[in-house]
Amino acid sequence: MEVGGAYSNTKAQVSALETLRKELPDLTAPSQPTPKRAKPGRTRRLRDDQVQQLIEGYKSGSTVYELGDQFGIERRTVSAILHRHDIPMRRRGLTTEQIDDAVRLYNQGWSLTRIAARMDVAAGTVRQRLHERGVPIRDTHGQPRAGEAR
């Protein structure tokens, strides 16, 4: 019968525990402040001359995304500014030929996102046009959605 066994010489175990203890934070020291999250910012307010530049940029063909990047604001803010100044919005959408192509690509297994990227529109736009054509939309695993025909 072995007396003590693995626990008879605890020097190595104590040393290992001391090493681990040194890696733990000091509980007597004041705690570090938690990193501050960015507060939801207020919309960046453009000066009147910048608003005019934005409007002229849109009228000359820039997209709301490009203008948002240029002025450091969200595209929704760009749209709000244009609406506030009664500037008619361009609707890009898809042509009949593009919708036909989207249906074909989707039926070949392309994702909505991939088709949208190819046609430079939002995936939701592609989804809506396919839905209007009666195309059953697949789930994220490529399977027909519940309740839709297979």
Tens digit of pLDDT per residue, the chain (150 long)? 555 666 677 888 888 888 888 888 777 777 666 666 555 555 568 999 999 999 999 999 888 888 999 999 988 899 999 999 999 988 767 889 999 999 999 999 999 999 988 887 888 999 999 999 999 999 877 677 665 554
Query: CA nearest 54: which of 38, 33, 34, 70?
Result: 70
Reduce the DSSP state of residue 131 to 3 states and report it: helix
Reduce the DSSP state of residue 138 to 3 states and report it: strand
Task: Tally Cβ neighbours within 10 Å of residue 70.
Answer: 14
pLDDT number for residue 150 = 47
In angstroms, the CA 69 to CA 55 distance is 14
Reduce the DSSP state of residue 61 to 3 states and report it: coil
pLDDT number for residue 3 = 59
Token digits of residue 136:
């059953």
pLDDT number for residue 37 = 53
pLDDT number for residue 76 = 86
What's the pTM?
0.42
pLDDT number for residue 147 = 59
Query: CA nearest 50: which of 78, 74, 76?
Result: 78
pLDDT number for residue 25 = 76
Token digits of residue 113:
């996102």
